[in-house]
Structure 1
Amino acid sequence: MRGFGVRRFGVRGLGIALFGRRARRRWVHLILGGALAMPYVFVGSVIVGPLLNDDRFFGSLTSQLASFAAGLPLAAITALFSLTRPMSVAAVRALCAVPEGALAEGPARGRVARGRTAAWFTLHLGLGGLVSGMSLALPPFACVLLAVPFFAVFRDSRIGLPEVFGEPWLVALSPVVGCASLVALAACAAASGGLLARWAPALLGPTPADRLAAAEQRAADLAVRNRLARELHDSVGHALSAVTLQASAARRVLDHDPEFVREALAAIEDTTRRTVGELDAVLGVLREADDARSTAPAPTLATDLDGLLRRTRASGLRVGATVALEPDTLPPLVSREAYRIVQEALGNALRHGGGDARVSLRIALDGPDLAVTAENPLPPRSPATRPGGGHGLRGIADRARLLGGTAAAGPADGAWRLDVRLPLKGHA
């Protein structure tokens, strides 16, 4: 019983291997290769026909095989075009059951990738053409063999080859030969499909150049994500700190100073409206939107410093600002990053010093650099640490480093001092 179960499982496994869903899909992939090979075979017949003195439309079997062999080098040459690999990869993913991530993305880059793609395309069309030819010829032949014992017309006609089926034992054996030919066709298709699936990762997989390009793309995506994170942290974090302090101050004087409450609510409205615009611009970049809102210009010292100082003072922070230069003369990139640095410095003073704190801000030229200095008194006790907080100073350091500058922050003479240097050269 156990041996019978093993044999039964073996027969079932063989049937799945030859006629299962995966085998059928790979067979379709081979038929697709045969269809793609037909134009090259026709061109090959134009070349081979005169050489073999065969002017028949289909030609002899020898002529057909020679035309097929002559067409494959033409297929290899046309496979050097960059779009051949995406087409081949799409077909393999859909039909060959290749592991996810084993195939390359995008057009072939470089000589090695194009050579591998040409080898794959030639192999696919070669095996596909052979299997397609067998798929067209063997099933009708097998059907004739299956019908020979039951229909005399097949035995006596030219189709039945009377000189072959003249013996009764040959007639009785013909159905076995017919079934064996169908099984042999399925076995050839399964073996060819498995060979293509095994070679696909080697020929269509990523080359070192593809891996380098993918790594560079991941690095670029990570840089964009970090930039968006800094923009969100600086703009939204500063706005929330200002709105929180404005709302808290308005609540405390709500009963006896309505004018201050009115001013605080107006400042909250202005801050939130502006922050929503900045947030929409940042999210527009994240969505890769093409509308006008996603391409809104980023705030800079030249265009938005006065508004930033006004909104910060409306929050209760006493800001003493000295701007010893013309912001319009700064390079746009330096002006934009300096604005975010000033915004984060004021936001830190708001968060850690409260509404009664003060900060001294100086923006000036220091030789070839733009110097941004912010100084505020240390609070009497250390502020509570926010979960997930502490990214502001790191963001300032990242902005300065990306521009080739420096940033230093820490306590000095009873005050907290931020000193940033941004070089102007090379950012015009």
Structure 2
Amino acid sequence: MNALLRSADVFLGPRARTGWAHLVFGGAMLMPYFLVSSVLVGPLLGEDELFGSLAAVLTTFAVALPIVAVSALLPLSRPLSLGLLHALHGIPDTELASGPARSTGARLRTAAWCTLHFAVGGVISGMSLAVPPFAFSLVLLPFSEQLRNHYLVRFASFDGPAQWILLPLSGVALLIALAGIAVSTAELLGRAARVLLGPTPSDRLAAAEQRATVLAQRNRVARELHDSVGHALSAVSLQASAARRVLDADPAFARQALAAIEETARRTVGELDAVLGLLRQDDDEDRAAALPLGPTLAELDELLIRTRAAGVTIDPSVSGELGALPDAVSREAYRIVQEGLSNALRHAGQVPVRLRIAVEEEELEITMENPVPARDRARDEGGGRGLRGIAERATLLHGSARAGEDDGVWRLAVRLPAGGAR
């Protein structure tokens, strides 16, 4: 019973039905080309012979296929074929190319596929129209005197009980054979589709470039969220802790800490909105283009004020013209300084931080040092996402970044090109 059910599923299951429908659809799409071909072949064969013989029909069919191949060279032929394969044949997107055929090789392969699909679909469609009526006639022949009179010439030796059994069985066998041919042909056509409509080397390269672009954008958004929101949360956490401890003893300091928390939260909401705007670029390019790209070193003083409000002592030293830096360098440098201060807040707490920023001979140098508490060993294992983000920012600008502990002092050193950076 299980074997019978499996066999029925092979011939009549969803996959078989959709594969058969895909073939019939190819035959239906062949019909306009067949009619055009009949117009070309008609004057040569004569109107009476055009559909009067099998040879004339096959000739018209053969002339229609080159017309199919030429029309399939259009770039949009591949998306239409892919849509049919996805909808009716169930081939996964990962096994096929995507988008219009751009290269000559891709167009030729698409033309070969369309010609094959239409040709095979035309044959299966013709069989699907002709075989079932004849097969049902054979099944019903023993029970219909009208059918027996109609097929009397073809079955002259109808008399006898053997024909009453053989003829219906022959009709059922024809139907099973038709289903088997259609299912097998659909399966072979699916394999041909993977070869002819599979991704070409140029398609794979384009897909890899697109994925790299998406990953780069995701990493950019992740860095922005980590640096802006992470720094704000670290500062707010320390400010709230300090305000809670001195709320009764020093109300003035508590009010100052709460005001700093309010300002930090307000500014972070604005930065968060700008970062989230990057995620909407595909839907609204004009709006995304108008979004601010992030703070620069021109806002360094405000960053230091907010960090000091968390109880961190900062000893800054700035030399050179920060305003002369390219915007891209200045923005990345701001984020690097912000993440360095966030690391100090998260891992060392309220410790003094020494910050040095210098613009020297087309190079921006950022150095940050702070003592490492004995309890902190996170950096000995290489740090977390923040240090990786700093390294990525430096690498994108063709700079360098080094971080590590030396004799109880954590040191971050970053070098960026100060002029002509892209």
TM-score (ref. length: structure 2): 0.87
- Matched with 1:29 is 22
Matches within 5 A, 1:61-210: 61-98=54-91, 101-156=94-149, 160=150, 162-169=152-159, 172=164, 174-210=167-203
Q: 1:426 to 1:55 in 2, by over 3 A?
A: farther
Matched, 1:399 2:397: no
Note if contact 2:322-2:359 (Cα within 8 Å) is conserved in structure 1: no
Match of 2:357? 363
* Cα separation, partners in 2 of 1:281 and 1:137, compared to 1, 3 Å: same
- Where does residue 329 of structure 2 map in the other structure? 334
What code does the residue aligned with 1:338 have? A
CA distance, structure 2, for counterparts of residue 246 and residue 189 of structure 1: 74
Answer yes or no: is 1:390 the counterpart of 2:380.
no
Please say if residues 49 and 63 of structure 1, whose CA atoms lie closer than 8 Å, have aligned partners that are also in contact: no
Q: How does 1:369-384 map to 2 (within 5 A)?
A: 369-376=363-370, 378-379=371-372, 381-383=374-376
Q: Counterparts of 2:336 and 2:54 in 1: how far apart (Å)?
A: 79
Structure 2 Cα separation of the partners of residues 251 and 9 of structure 1: 73
**Counterparts in 2 of 1:183 and 1:351: CA distance versus 1, 3 Å:** closer
Q: How far has the Cα of 1:57 moved from its partner?
A: 7.7
Aligned partner (choices 11, 34, 40) of residue 41 of structure 1: 34
Aligned-partner SS, 1:101: helix
CA contact (8 A) 2:316 2:354 kept: yes
Residue 273 (structure 1) shift = 2.0
Superimposed CA distance per residue, residues 388-407 of structure 1 (whole angstroms, 9 cap, x where no aligned partner): 95332232122111111122
User: Offset at 1:15?
Assistant: 4.0
Match status 1:321 vs 2:311:
no
TM-score normalised by L of structure 1: 0.86
Gapped regions of structure 1 (runs ≥ 5): 1-7
The letter for the 1-side match of 2:267 is R
Match for residue 230 of structure 1?
223
Unaligned 5+ runs, structure 2: none
The one-letter code matched in structure 2 to 1:402 is L
Match of 1:351 among 333, 339, 346: 346
Number of residue pairs the alignment of both structures matches: 416
Correspondence for 2:275 among 269, 276, 282: 282
Letter in 1 for 2:153: E
- Please name the residue that 1:5 is paired with: none
Give 3-state SS (helix, strand or coil) of 2:47's partner.
coil
Shift of 1:78: 2.1
Among all aligned residue pairs of Structure 1 and Structure 2, give the percentage whose two residues are the same amino acid: 56
Residues 1:272 and 2:265 are matched in the alignment:
yes
Pairwise CA RMSD: 3.0
Q: Is the 8 A contact 1:280 1:294 kept in 2?
A: no
Contact 1:322 1:361 in 2 (8 A): yes
- Give distance in 2, aligned partners of 1:292 and 1:265: 34
Residue 298 (1) aligns with residue 288 (2): no
Say if 1:174 and 1:306 are closer, same or farther in 2 by CA, change over 3 A. same
What is the letter of the counterpart of residue 342 of structure 1? V
Work out the CA distance in 2 between the residues paired with 1:293 and 1:123. Answer: 46
Pairwise CA distance, 1:330: 2.0
State the alpha-carbon separation in 2 of the partners of residues 90 and 56 from structure 1.
Answer: 38
